[in-house]
Structure 1
Amino acid sequence: MGKCLNTVSSVALNLTLSLPLFAQRQMGILIQGKTVTAEISAGEKHLYQITLEKDRFAHLNILQKGVDVKVVTYDANGKIAGDFDSPNYTSGPESAALYSSGKGIYILEIQAQSTDREHASYELTLDRVSPKAVQPEGKIDELMAAFDSNQSPGASVAVVSGGRLLFEKGYGMANLEHGIPLRATTPLHVASVTKSFTNYCIFLLEKQGKLKLDDDIRKYVPEVPDFGYKISLRHLAEHSSGMRDYAALRGMARYEIDTREMFFKMLARQHDLNFIPGENCDYSNTGCVLLAEVIQRVSGKSYSRFVKENIFDPLGMNASTVQDDQSMILPGVADSYDRTVDGPKKMYVLGSLVGGTGIISNARDMAIWANHLLHPKDDADIVAKMSTPGKLNDGTRTTFGPGLMVSDHKGHLEIGHSGATGGFKAHVGIFPDDDLAVIVLANTNDIYSRPVARQIAELYFNAPPKRTRPALVSVVPANAVEDPKPAWDKSTLKLVEYTGKYYSDEAATTYSFELIGGQLVIRPGYLSDMTLTPQSRDTFQGAFGGIVEFVRAHDGKVLGCKFTFPRMKNLFFKKLAGGS
């Protein structure tokens, strides 16, 4: 596509020169419906002008081709109006919006955060300029404009307040192959929002006198290894058990852990925890899988049946189900997609593990669930417990309640949960002091469902906010990076002594460490190679913030290494004999 740029007026140029922006490349004025194609390098910034009348909404699409861009918008006075950065990294669409308060020249800044090729580029289109919405319904349409297309996957939205469904609508497509629109009644995977249902069931069983939240998990599931510390059901519910996330272990193991049998085989291999139970907190899917197992063993019913009989049926959530068999026929369920530079690509949800995920529902049913959490009637005690922040051994409160995350958004208390799996994204945000709930369910990988739900909630907030409980204290994540190591002489580093094959009994897998191009590289079979960057003697940085720390014997010989990644700490790999 060709460029379509007008000469920059002296007014626009003077405006941009007055902005506190540096290393900018002036690109001209954008014209609605015309696409601009431009190459960009990492660290470079491109600046565009958009002339808008008073009270206008402008929407822009950016197609990233080998570059991860962040978009910053400025109002007619040169002040930052907003910033936009989707999870698409260096490939696929990015979108941005501008809202004019008066007639003038508005600024769009394209920042290249990183590139993955020499000639990275993007395509930029000002695809919509329209009168700014006044009512909340129209403003939600503006927020969802990036997904409101018959060529794109999308999302469904529902808003509940005062016991009434105030808004529900679908955007984009549920199935691109067959041209099926996504509606508020379209079922989608709600991913980790399932955890709220799992914990609710645990509290129901406690209310029936069949278990106690402070019971040891091994009382009900003796297959859990004895790590030397009591791990209670409460620890599992509040993500303070210290147990490694099976999803993180799956990534290290190089094979799927998608059935109950595979899960328990992996669990039996574990020797260590991330931390002593109750000493810290770190999100772990392992906990709710075990809680689902407890539900089944204590109730004598399958997880899916228990949830149906005790939640779905009583509340009238008739479109909701649990996928506990990946071969199940699921009528009407949306497909999921990854929006790439080459267009949407299908993604898949595989597996039959339930508890941490597994529920399929639609926006309308989730609105019923959210309204129940706002007005729980006979189960008010359960909702109160679920929305009580967890407490660590030292008394510190965390943001993890047993089944509901507890946080503050602009002075408004929020309880709820988010989820993501196989291209599906979900968030159920509940604001008790505002008698408000917002549901966002999506079948596209490039949406941040929680921020979108919060933006929608802001349209309905009471002002000023009411506070019914004190602010929470932040907790240092279990995998937080420690203080920097002392300075060291890099010339003494001998990478060859780290090479060889390493085996982890806990992950049941072997990695090869090799020297390639003067760098230490992990070659984990069919997965992508990982280049390690030395941070100090025996400590290396890997991808996604991972740390690899080598362990030596008293004589200095390398014995093995420990991997620390998000949700998994100190997974040991032993160096095999013959490695050099």
Structure 2
Amino acid sequence: MKKLLILICFVLFSMLHLYAQESDLSKLDEVVDQYYPDSQAPGIILQISKYGMGTGYAKGRGIANLETGEQIDSLTNFRLASVSKQFTALAVFLLEANGQLKLTDKIRKYLPTLPEETASVEVQHLLNHSSGLVDYENYIPENQKEQLSDRSVLELISRIDSVYFPAGRQFRYSNTGYCLLALLVEQVSGKSYADFMRDEVFRELDMKHSQIMVPGAQVRNRAYGYHLENGKFTFADQSITSATKGDGGVYTSAYDYARGSTSLIYALQLAEGLVTEYPNLFMEVKPGIRYGFGFFFGKDQHGDQVLFHSGESTGFHNVVLNFPNKKLTISAFSNRDDLQIAPFFQDVLQILEVDIQGIGTNDLFTWLSNVYAHRIH
């Protein structure tokens, strides 16, 4: 594993280079000003980074914590929600690369309490959302008050003697699968998921201030989540499902994400080489777009590969794009769960002349929301 991580980190960039032309920078500033005009409200950080080429574009607007008045900047740590899945996938990839598991292993080998109906589900099916496992959110008891853990998710679905479809048959986005992957990491590594991510992922990717949220943990430079209702922002940082880890528990900053994304994308390029051994590693979402290792894989209007994902949870909306050939990362992290990020990010992509193929007339954030809600087939 260490040799692999040394190879991955060999390409770690020094930080940030300007992607947009200088004339575009003022346009980006104007878009931030347009959609997030109130510097005293929860807001956003937009960052554009190019690997190994110096300083790039970053603009924060708004308040990370309304109680303290702390401003949002590149070092503010946000809950990534489903953007976290790419890091969970990397953890599994590292275990595979170290010979500690096979992606064709049946998940019941590691989590034997799962029902017989899941006997055909393999690790790779969890990674690419083709497991057919039920959505645990649909089985949360009405009187549930305590936050669910990944172990709670396992207990919930272990009582369900059905699946949506046979494993590997089709794509259906599943938080359940990534909660189980966190438990898999613990079972195989012998470490807690949070410790494994700290030791084997964040530390090796030089994401020094990133972490998995666990009970009682202190997050430095933390952004708290807020909800806009009747023209006023109210504290909305946690929900019953905010304590699961594998599907959405990463806290990181735009700065740390930019540092880690170089090595992460390099690792995913190595992972793509696994298709020879695992021909079913990636699952088609729709023509031209596949899912694997915590990313949607598509192409822009020039035919260049683009990897993208968003995150939605109580108090937070985020979206990231990575262009391996252009060595470019675009990220937007927000500590408010209104839909302002959807038209905002679409305008950003228009300024940067990025057109992702295959998502139709929807903006990217809305298209992804529809995928998560199973409204795109």
The letter of the residue matching 1:363 is: A
1:340 alignment counterpart: 229
The letter of the residue matching 1:211 is: L
The letter of the residue matching 1:342 is: G
- Find runs of 4+ consecutive structure 1 residues off by over 6 angstroms: 471-474
1:13 alignment counterpart: none
DSSP-derived class of the 2:87 partner = helix
Distance between the aligned counterparts of 2:309 and 2:161, measured in 1?
Answer: 30
1:101-159 per-position Cα deviation (integer Å, ceiling 9, x unaligned): xxxxxxxxxxxxxxxxxxxxxxxxxxxxxxxx972322221221221423311011111
Q: Structure 1 residue 169 and structure 2 residue 59: aligned?
A: yes
Question: Aligned-residue CA RMSD in angstroms?
Answer: 3.2
Distance between the aligned counterparts of 2:345 and 2:327, measured in 1?
Answer: 15
The letter of the residue matching 2:125 is: H
Q: For 2:25, which of 137, 142, 146 is the aligned residue?
A: 137
Distance between the aligned counterparts of 1:208 and 1:265, measured in 2?
Answer: 29
1:292-320 per-position Cα deviation (integer Å, ceiling 9, x unaligned): 11111101111111111122112211110
1:37-68 per-position Cα deviation (integer Å, ceiling 9, x unaligned): xxxxxxxxxxxxxxxxxxxxxxxxxxxxxxxx
How far apart are residue 390 of structure 1 and its match? 2.0
DSSP-derived class of the 2:82 partner = helix
Contact in 2 for aligned 1:245/1:567 (Cα 8 Å): no
Cα distance, 1:472–1:238 mapped onto 2, change above 3 Å: farther
Cα distance, 1:150–1:455 mapped onto 2, change above 3 Å: closer
Question: Which structure 2 residues correspond to residues 124-523 of structure 1 after superposition, within 5 A?
Answer: 135-145=23-33, 146-164=35-53, 165-227=55-117, 229-250=119-140, 253=142, 255=144, 258-325=148-215, 327-350=216-239, 351-376=242-267, 380-382=269-271, 390-391=282-283, 399-411=290-302, 412-447=304-339, 449=341, 452-453=344-345, 455-460=347-352
Kindly indicate which of the two structures has a greater share of residues assigned to strand. 1
DSSP-derived class of the 1:399 partner = strand
Question: Which structure 2 residues correspond to residues 13-24 of structure 1 after superposition, within 5 A?
Answer: none
The letter of the residue matching 2:81 is: A
DSSP-derived class of the 1:239 partner = coil
How far apart are residue 222 of structure 1 and its match? 0.6
Distance between the aligned counterparts of 2:256 and 2:273, measured in 1?
Answer: 22
The letter of the residue matching 2:316 is: F
Contact in 1 for aligned 2:103/2:123 (Cα 8 Å): yes
Structure 2: 5+ residue stretches without partners: 1-20, 361-369
Cα distance, 1:188–1:228 mapped onto 2, change above 3 Å: closer
Contact in 1 for aligned 2:106/2:121 (Cα 8 Å): yes
Higher deviation after alignment, 432-441 or 297-306: 432-441
DSSP-derived class of the 2:290 partner = coil
How far apart are residue 451 of structure 1 and its match? 5.9
How far apart are residue 458 of structure 1 and its match? 4.6
Contact in 1 for aligned 2:296/2:307 (Cα 8 Å): yes
Distance between the aligned counterparts of 1:450 and 1:204, measured in 2?
Answer: 33
How far apart are residue 253 of structure 1 and its match? 4.4
Cα distance, 1:391–1:227 mapped onto 2, change above 3 Å: same
Distance between the aligned counterparts of 2:288 and 2:143, measured in 1?
Answer: 36
Equivalent pairs counted in the alignment come to 334
Task: Give the number of the structure with larger relative contact order, counting CA–CA contacts within 8 Å between residues 6 or more apart.
Answer: 2
Cα distance, 1:342–1:449 mapped onto 2, change above 3 Å: closer
How far apart are residue 178 of structure 1 and its match? 2.4
How far apart are residue 328 of structure 1 and its match? 2.3
Distance between the aligned counterparts of 2:340 and 2:203, measured in 1?
Answer: 30
Distance between the aligned counterparts of 2:72 and 2:138, measured in 1?
Answer: 32
Structure 1: 5+ residue stretches without partners: 1-132, 475-544, 546-564, 569-580
Distance between the aligned counterparts of 1:323 and 1:348, measured in 2?
Answer: 12
The letter of the residue matching 1:142 is: E
Contact in 2 for aligned 1:319/1:361 (Cα 8 Å): yes
Higher deviation after alignment, 255-264 or 215-224: 255-264
Structure ID, larger Rg = 1
